[in-house]
Amino acid sequence: MSRYSYIPHTETEISEMLETIGVKSIEALFEDVPKVFDFKLDLPESSDEFSVARELKALSKKNLSLNEMAIFRGAGVYYHYIPSAIRYLSSRGEFLTAYTPYQPEVSQGTLQALFEFQTMIAELTGLEVANSSMYDGATAVAEAALMAVRTNGRNRVLISQTIHPEYRHVTNTYCHAQSIEIEELPYSKDTGQIDLEKLKSTLDDDVSAVIVGYPNYFGIIEDLKKIKALLDEKIMFIVVANPIALSVLEAPGSFGADIVVGEGQPLGNPSSLGGPGFGFFATREKFVRKMPGRIIGETKDVDGKTGYVMVLQTREQHIRRGKATSNICSNHAHNAVIAAMYMSLLGKEGLREVAIRSFDKAHYLFHQISKIEGMEPLFSGPFFHEFPVRLKGTSASKLNADLLKHKILGPMELEKDFPELGNSVLFCTTEAVRNEDLEFLLGRLEEIL
């Protein structure tokens, strides 16, 4: 019998099968493979489940889990409470071990769940159509830029400096490859919002798209209305949004956004060292044929019963090959379905409550911090659940090292990505920060500063 629990073959079966094939040995099945590799792999020996589980458990304990700390760090990945039902539902084998729904008749579970997901994203963003996910927030922004250029044929993309630094890096990588010009838009040193004067003077007939955050990387809520007012009809208005914030902030679609993208991790997905989460991607119906990624649509079967299928596949790589809207094939369907489960459990009330609690705690913290000598909030613009603060007296890294000793994951240090801000940090709160954690943090801050 095979020594490996994942492989069912017995010796007898192997012999019978070789005989049916008409070869003497397994080796005969590999005769066309050149013998350029005659040594054994330098890898560990096979192991039993018990030992591998123990080894990994030991490794996991070398990490400090967010559950063991009070969390004041967001900066793109957010620590929200995840209802227990999600893990149990999403780990069902019928979701976990299914493939892309190539045979819709036996994939209605996947298809309907993603159709519901698309509906929820369309509701949140205020746009007509959403796809069934991208890899992450960064690739969603990059693909949005490519889509804009594909749509209006212009070649210059303006991206706000307050878009997540990693998203800007990825967008640069993608756009550079297609010789698309990227230009960064500065922010106002007073409000932390995009510098509207500068935007106005940068706009011209070559501009394909303007990309802004909502809220931006600093947590500041941009005035989408004022920005949209500056853009001509042809310019694609791309908004990078936090999905939780969209339950209280006016939908970008209402302000005339053409594409809304973002990172979906806050919707019920664990932080998992930054992956996998998923990217969401929504647009106007008139642009749908330019949109990358899989889209699920409703239809009828031969008996007139409602069902779901993948639609508009002629945009996709498996049909159009080199002429596809994108090379994306596998997306992050499982994470998108987790988000649908999360939004179903929380509903419109719950999502709003999560947003308001995150918001309320951040504003309380902001207010208290303003009173502490040695800390100074940087911007006056309205913010959601994150805000930057300049430190005097102590360095950001020293502060965080001190906080970590008290099992506090302190604010994100900004100097590396925003050297002009000097010794500054970005605080974040979610509903998963307890009021007592806030007081504990404030006590430590007063001690340290």
Partner 1 sequence: MTIFEKSVSGRKGYSLPDEPLHDSSPLSNVPEHLLRKRDPELPESSEVDVVRHYTELSRKNYSVDCGFYPLGSCTMKYNPRLNEEVASLEGFLHLHPHQPIESIQGAMEVMYELQKMLSEITGMDAFTLQPAAGAHGELTGMLIVKKYFEVKGEQQRRKVIVPDSAHGTNPASAKMAGFEVVEIASNSSGLVDLDNLKEVLDDSVAAIMLTNPNTLGLFEKDILEISKIAHKNGTLLYYDGANLNAIMGRVRPGDMGFDIVHLNLHKTFSTPHGMGGPGSGPVGVSAKLKEFLPVPIVALNDDGYYFDYNLPKSIGKVRSFYGNFGVLLKAYAYIRMLGKDGLKFASEMAVLNANYLRVKLSKLIKASHPGICKHEFVLDGSILVKEFGVKTLDLAKRLLDYGVHPPTIYFPLIVHEAMMIEPTETESKDNLDRFVEVIGKILEEARDNPETLKNAPYTTPVRRLDETMASRKPVMRWKKEK
Residue 405 interacts with partner 1 (CB under 8 A)?
no
Nearer to partner 1, 297 or 422 (CB): 297
Q: Is 110 in the site for partner 1 (CB under 8 A)?
A: yes
Q: Which of 11, 22, 201, 447 binds partner 1 (CB under 8 A)?
A: 22
Q: Which positions from 268 to 287 touch partner 1 by CB under 8 A, shown as an x/- string?
A: --xxxxxxx-x---------
Window 224-243: contact mask with partner 1 (x via CB under 8 A):
xx------------------
Say whether residue 11 binds partner 1 (CB under 8 A).
no
Segment near partner 1 (CB under 8 A), from 109-117, 151-159, 199-207, 441-449?
109-117
Question: What is the rounded CA–CA span in Å between residue 213 and residue 160?
Answer: 8
Distances (CA, A) of 245 to 137, 198, 230, 261, 364: 15, 27, 24, 13, 17
Q: How far is the CB of 362 from partner 1 (least distance, A)?
A: 9
Q: Would you call the peptide bond into 215 cis, given omega within 30 degrees of 0 as the criterion?
A: yes
Token pair listed for 317: 């790589």
* By the rule CB under 8 A, 335 interacts with partner 1: yes
The number of beta carbons lying within 10 Å of the beta carbon of residue 195 is 18
Q: Is 2 in the site for partner 1 (CB under 8 A)?
A: yes
Interface stretch with partner 1, choices 92-100, 188-196, 387-395, 441-449 (CB under 8 A):
92-100
Q: Is 92 in the site for partner 1 (CB under 8 A)?
A: yes
Q: Is 348 in the site for partner 1 (CB under 8 A)?
A: yes
Residues 356-385 within binding reach of partner 1 (CB under 8 A): 356-357, 359-361, 363-364, 382
Tell me the C-alpha distance between 56 and 215, whole Å: 38
Half-sphere exposure of 252 (CA within 13 A, CB side): 34
Does 435 help bind partner 1 (rule: CB under 8 A)?
A: yes
Of 178 and 206, the one with the shorter C-beta distance to partner 1 is: 178
Which region, judged by CB under 8 A, interacts with partner 1, from 82-90, 149-157, 196-204, 230-238? 82-90
DSSP 70: E
Interface with partner 1 in residues 252-271 (CB under 8 A): 254, 263, 270-271
Q: Which listed residue (109, 256, 374, 377) binds partner 1 by CB under 8 A?
A: 109
The pair of three-digit structure tokens given for residue 166, joined into one six-digit string: 């990693």
**Beta carbons of 311 and 295 less than 8 angstroms apart:** yes
**Are 212 and 227 spatial neighbours (Cβ–Cβ below 8 Å)?**
yes
Q: Using CB under 8 A, which residues numbered 182 to 211 contact partner 1?
A: none
The 287-316 site mask, x for binding partner 1 (CB under 8 A), equals -x-----xxxxxxxxxx-xxxxx-xxxx-x
Q: How many residues form the binding site for partner 1 (CB under 8 A)?
A: 208
| All residues at 6 or more sequence positions from 318 whose CB lies less than 8 Å from its CB, including other chains | 329
Cβ atoms of 292 and 143 within 8 Å: the answer is yes
CA atoms of 73 and 48, how far apart (whole Å): 38
Q: Residue 196: what are its φ and ψ, rounded to 5°?
A: -65, -35
The helix (H) or strand (E) run that includes residue 113 is helix 108-125
